[in-house]
Amino acid sequence: MSNLRSLKVLLLSTPVGAIGSGLGGGVELTLQSVARSLLRRGHSITVVAPQGSVLDGISLVEIPGNLQLTAQTGGRNDLITLPENSVLGNMWNYARQVQHEYDLLFNFAYDWLPFYLTPFFDRAIAHLVSMGSLTDAMDQIIETVAQEFPTTIGVHSRAQAETFQFSDRCFNIKNGFDLSAYHFCAQPKQHLAWVGRIAPEKGLEDAIAAVQKTNIPLKIWGVIQDHVYWQQILATYPTAPMEYAGFLPTDQFQQVLGESRALLMTPHWVEAFGNVAIEALACGVPVIAYRRGGPAEIVQDGKTGWLVEPDRVDDLVSAIANIDLIDRSTCRQHAETDYSLEALGDRLEAWFAQILKLS
């Protein structure tokens, strides 16, 4: 947007973990991509995040306090809870004090408080909703903001927006990454990859059931968020050809991800986007994904991977058998056209222009 002058934007991170801890899941990567794409376009960015956060080259304000529980562990009628000395409360109290130094605030927290506080602020708040509908209380407070401040709700996919009643009032920013950090790998090794927080909603057991049948080794990366779930998987599939490879920083991770024959995405919930699908495509790695949520809007069936009927392990197995039909350079190309920092920056500026009512 030529008339979108240089903006001063305050990004407020997720309160579930420090940036770099892996506890923030995809939001950690998304926040860094948003910051970098805006900095490159001449905007000035400050990030507010829990104490212990690490962010190179981006101005960071660390806030003390107790972390928020993750929203996806409860049920639909989960109560809104805040710990004593809440880092979320402290982050937004800081935002209240400094808001007039900024043109726009940008919320990454999937939490009740920032949405509730929106009308109390003098500055506009862009809310990037990072997951689909999870609880009645969150749906209600996000809908309230969507009604009173139309255009300020951002999402990562149409499928994610459609889990809410206000899907028509959501701006789809998809996502984007610094693709120079990901290197194309033409000749993969033999293993398949699965990446994500190890928790029930991510459906790791389906990927393991599939490799048990194909006997192609599976490498698993990500934070073990639910240890009971992980132990159940180990007990259920003691002989499956799988290896847990930990949680790696992006530069090391993209190297080993790139060596994979394909990435398997087996979400049991509506994955809002699926950052790791872009990371894989950027390395030339085809993606085999359930036709569910964000990944179904990323994978071009038969061109950059295969879309499989949800929860059908046998269909995963046949997609794996056809992975060599996918041209790995097409995967990299698609990441560059739709999911670069430039493409993300275009979508962010279009969103901000709507929020700030610039023509």
Exactly one of 104, 125, 131, 207 binds ligand HBI (CB under 6 A); that residue is: 131
Residue showing the smallest CB distance to ligand HBI in the complex: 25
Continuous segment of H or E residues that includes residue 296: helix 295-298
Other beta carbons within 10 Å of 51: 12
Is residue 255 within 8 Å of residue 188, measured between CB atoms? no
Q: Which of 7, 10, 24, 348 touches ligand HBI by CB under 6 A?
A: 24
Q: Which residues pair with 198 in a beta bridge?
A: 224
Find the shortest distance in angstroms from Cβ 23 to ligand HBI: 7
Question: In 23-181, where does DSSP find H-type helix?
Answer: 26-40, 87-98, 112-117, 136-148, 158-161
Angle, CA 24 vertex, CA 273 and CA 185 arms, to 5°: 55
Among 12, 18, 19, 27, binds ligand HBI (CB under 6 A): 27
CB atoms under 10 Å from CB of 32, counted, come to: 22
Smaller CB distance to ligand HBI: residue 26 or 258? 26
State the minimum distance, in angstroms, from the CB of residue 323 to ligand HBI. 27
Binding status of residue 109 toward ligand HBI by CB under 6 A: yes
Residue 340 touches ligand HBI, criterion: CB under 6 A: no
CA–CA distance, 17 with 27 (Å, rounded to integer):
10
Retrieve residue 323's tokens: 């992975």
| Given 102, 106, 110, 351, the residue binding ligand HBI (CB under 6 A) | 110
Binding residue (CB under 6 A) for ligand HBI from 7, 22, 25, 220: 25
195 belongs to the binding site for ligand HBI (CB under 6 A): no
**Closer of 188 and 274 to ligand HBI (Cβ):** 274
Least distance to ligand HBI, CB of residue 160, Å = 10
* Torsion 118-92-134-201 (CA) sign: positive
Q: Which residues pair with 306 in a beta bridge?
A: 288
**Residue 337 contacts by C-beta under 8 Å, 6 or more apart in sequence?**
343
* Chosen residue from 7, 9, 11, 14 binding ligand HBI by CB under 6 A: 14
Q: Which residues contact 200 (CB under 8 A, 6 or more apart)?
A: 226, 229, 268
Q: CA angle, 130 as apex, 110 and 329 as ends, to 5°?
A: 160
Q: Which is nearer to ligand HBI, 16 or 348 (CB)?
A: 16
- Tell me the number of residues near ligand HBI by CB under 6 A: 15
Smallest distance from the beta carbon of 61 to ligand HBI, in angstroms?
17
- When asked if residue 130 is in the footprint of ligand HBI (CB under 6 A), the reply is yes
Q: Smallest Cα–Cα separation from 115: which of 128, 99, 100, 97?
A: 128
Residue of 16, 34, 210, 220 that binds ligand HBI (CB under 6 A): 16
Choices 22-30, 216-224, 241-249, 332-340 (CB under 6 A): range interacting with ligand HBI: 22-30
Residues 49-108 touching ligand HBI, rule: CB under 6 A, are 68, 70-72
Report the interface residues with ligand HBI, using CB under 6 A.
Answer: 14, 16, 24-27, 68, 70-72, 109-111, 130-131
